[in-house]
Every structure is written in C-alpha cells, then in structure tokens.
Amino acid sequence: MAKNIWRVKPMSAFEADMKKNDLKRVLTKWGLTSLGIGAIIGGGIFTLTGIAAHNHAGPALAIAFAIAGVGCLFASLCYAEFASVLPVEGSAYAYSYGTMGEVFAWIIGWNLILEYMMGATTVAVAWSGYFEKLLHQCGIHPPMWLMNDPVTAAQKAHDAGIAAPSFAFNLPAFLITWVVTSILVKGIKEAAKTNNLIVILKLAVVLFVIFVGFFFIDTKNYTPFVPAAEVIDGVSHYGWGFGGVLTAASIVFFAYIGFDAVSTQSGEAINPKKDVPFAIIASLIICTVLYIAVSLVLTGMVGFKDLDIKAPVASAFEGIGMPWATVLITIAAVAGLTSVMLVMMLGQTRVFLGMAKDGLLPFKIFGVVHKKFKTPYRSTLIVGLIISIVASLTPIDKVAEMCSMGTLLAFSMISVAVLILRIKQPDLPRPFKTPFLPVVSILGTLFNVGLMFFVKPETWVAFLIWTGIGFLVYFAYSRRHSKVNQYNFEQSLGGHDAIVNASENLNDDDDK
C-alpha cells in the first residue's frame, strides 16, 4: 500500500489523455487571458484595498500589492512551465500526479475544492450583498429574509432589535449560481463570451477609477508614504513588518487568487502548450499593474485613515462630490463577482474531470462529457447544486477563510514540483521554461508557505480536519480505483495502441 500511494502517473498516460480529449477546443490566448482577468478582478479590489490601507500600509498599499504580485509571479512561472509540458485540465492536481505521486496529487485535488467550489460559494454570497446594495441605490428594499441565510438573518434582526424571521433564504445567491451553472452546461464558447463581456465592463470601470481619480489626487496624502509603526489597543499597525506593509501584502494576496484557474482550461485551448503559459503570466501582470494604479489613486484622493473600510472606492468618489460613481462601481463589483464565479466553477468541474479520468472519482458522475455541448454536464450540475444550497442557507465567513489555504498549498506544491520534474526529466520538451531555477522555485515555496503563518489558528484546525476527511475518501475509494497501474501495465506492453492491435489479432485468429 505504501508503494501504491506514491505511484506517479507516466507522461505517456498524459499524452493519451490529450489525444482522447472530448472537450471543444475554442479558446485563444487572449480568450484564456480574459478568463484569468475575470477570475482575478472581483470584489477584492473594491473591498480589500480599504482594510489593507486603513489598518496596515497607508499609502504604501501600492508596495503591498507589488509584493503580493511578485510572490504570485513565482508560482505563475512554475504553473506556466507545467502547462506547456502537461496541457491537461487537471491543473495543480495533474502536475503533482506526474511528479510527486498519487497521494500528493489527491490532497491537492481535494484541497482545490476549497479554492474553486468553496471560493465560488463565498463569491455567490458576496454577489448577493453587492446586488442588495445596488437595489437599495435604486430605491428597492427587499425583505431581509429573502436576502440572507437563516443565521445571518437572525443576527441582523438581533442587531436591529426586531424579531428574527421564521424562515430565511438567500435567493440572489441561489439564483446567480444557477444562472452561471446553465451557462457552463451550455458550453465553453458561451461561457467565454459571457466572461469577455463582463471583463470589458469591469476593466472599463477600473480604468475610470484610475484616470478620473488621478485628477483629484492630493500629494499631501502620500506623506508619510510608509506610516510609522504603532500599537493601537494592543494591536500592531503600520511600518514594514508584522501589522504593516507585509501584513497588508498577505491581505491583498487574496485579490490575486484565480490566475491558476487558466491552467484548468488546457483541454479547451486551441494551442495549450503556448497559449496557457502566456495567459497565466499575462493576466497576472495586467491585474498587478491595475491594482497598483488603483491603490495609488485611492490613497492619493483620500487620506488613508479616512478611507471607508467596507467600500473604499465608492466612498472616495462620494468624498469628491461624485455620488453617481458609486452606482457605477457597484455595478462593476456585481459584474466582476459574476465572472469570478464563472471561472471558479469552470475550474472546479475541470479538476473533477481530470480526477475522474484517473479513476480517483466516479467517472459516470464527474467524467461524462455531453455529446452536443462538449462539457462535463453532470459534474457541473452537481457543483451548481452544492454551491446554491450552501450559499443560500449557510453563513460561510469561516469557510471563506479556508479558501486561501487550498490556494497557498497548491502554489507551494507546484513551486516544488516544477523543480522535481526538471531534475527527474531534464530532457523533456518544454515550450516554456521557468527562468532562474531553482531560485524561483525556492522563493515561490517560501512566499506561499510563509503566508500560511498569517492565517488564524482556528482556520488551520478546520483545514486539517478537511484534509483528514480527504485522506479517508482516498483510502476508502480512490486508491483502489486508481488507473495508474493500468497505465503502467499498458506502457510495459508497448502502449495502449499495441494492446488494441494485439486484441484485434487475437479475435482474427482463434488458434492464437
């Protein structure tokens, strides 16, 4: 058993998967880049900027975004090399399977559920909140029990001093999940077109914030650029270290989560070996530049201590006498979160597809591709059902914190795995090679493991429990149904084609 859990999926098996791909290849390099931008730019830029600047970095928020962007860049370069070598839909799960062994691959695949499916659940609830805010701006005030889960509705009723509703259901979160699910079932082309339209809208609003806000910058707000460290009510704030710029970097890092989802679309890319690495790096660089620009404009328009933590961008424009801009920004946030949901759910179903092909998940549930739409429709419907129920009935603030753990684990493992593959198979064709190895690999690992130490202890406990459940599922089902031994057996007999030819010869001649 110890030998089995460390077995590695051979490269020939990945090549066979690529040849038998049932997905529709329609995504160009800019289509893939748009998916990356759609996953990265969401509610984070409209909310995290306020918390990070007000409590930790001040005007040096731009430096915090740069640090987080560079840290993500290390991981993105490692992802890009793997995407050029193994252009399959499994992302970090598949890359680990080909280098570090089955048990590592399983744990990464299991914890990617935290990034993709639970991440999409968190976004669905955030979308509901922004949608409710948009309705309020239009003079519409729906009942509280229709916009919140039971626990949140009860808490809001208690805070307002009124009786808790006997029934509560987050209808907007439920409905947006099924809208996105229906788009994903219909096909990748439809999903990409929807994402492109949303990306154009939110990029337009981000550029509006940058170029219009630029004319209202007061350079006095930049002094001091890095506020002096101080302790307020026993908590460290400002400066460079803990509580300052580095803490701000750990906060805004989560605004970058999503660029790795591009690698899950390899099965639908027209030229995955070249276009997926390009899209991963391009989407990250574009979003990093936009984030830095937005942070410089915001902290220049308003003193960092005057920024509204909950709605920093909107409040900044209200402060300069442009309240109508808040409606525009809210619309962009709603649209931005929709595209984040779309890419997250898309990524989750493709990871499940890769795991089902390898036998680690039931193929009939997660691996069947629709004959007409060319999408894993059963898996998509199941993912949509789970997300819609959890988002509409459960307060997920604690689950949201776990999303980052799955991402950080995946980034760390891929940073290590790319170096292992380079050592084990140095002659493997690599259309894109990660530069400056092993430095990039080491820095990527240290950066992402280091950020894990900024996570709350209770989140670590929940993460370890989730990982333990994953081990139980692996030993109860996945290890026994794995197809890796079958791959190795076929390879020893000359490959899959040789087995097929031998079978045909046997059928032709009964004596043989």
Cα 442 vs. chain centroid, distance in angstroms? 22
Whether residue 312 has a cis bond before it, omega within 30° of 0: no
| Selection from 102, 92, 65, 47 nearest residue 330 by Cα | 47
In 218-330, where do the E strands start and end? 230-232, 235-237
Give me the tens of pLDDT residue by residue for the chain, a chain 512 residues long. Answer: 556 788 888 888 888 888 887 888 899 999 999 999 998 988 678 777 888 898 899 999 999 999 999 989 999 999 999 999 988 888 899 999 988 899 999 999 999 998 899 889 988 988 998 898 889 888 999 999 999 999 889 988 888 888 888 899 999 999 999 999 999 999 888 899 999 999 999 899 999 999 999 999 999 999 999 998 888 877 788 998 878 898 888 888 878 888 888 998 888 999 999 999 999 999 999 999 999 999 999 999 989 988 877 778 887 887 778 878 888 888 888 888 899 999 999 999 999 999 999 999 999 999 999 999 999 999 999 999 999 999 999 876 656 667 778 888 889 999 999 999 999 889 888 999 999 999 999 999 999 888 887 777 878 888 899 999 999 999 999 999 998 866 655 555 554 444 444 444 444 444 44
Q: Residue 316 gets which letter from DSSP?
A: H
| Selection from 51, 15, 27 nearest residue 268 by Cα | 27
Position 177 scores a pLDDT of 97
3-state secondary structure of 15: helix
CA distance 28 to 105: 28
**Identity of the amino acid at 165:** P
CATH T-level topology, domain 22-455: Amino acid/polyamine transporter I (1.20.1740)
Cα 426 vs. chain centroid, distance in angstroms? 30
CA distance 130 to 331: 8
Going from N- to C-terminal start, the domains of the chain cover 22-455
Tokens matching residue 346: 């898309």
* Alpha-carbon torsion angle 140, 141, 147, 151, nearest 10: 160
Q: What are phi and psi of 456, to 5 degrees?
A: -65, 145
Q: What are phi and psi of 394, to 5 degrees?
A: -125, 135
| Selection from 333, 399, 338, 395 nearest residue 48 by Cα | 333
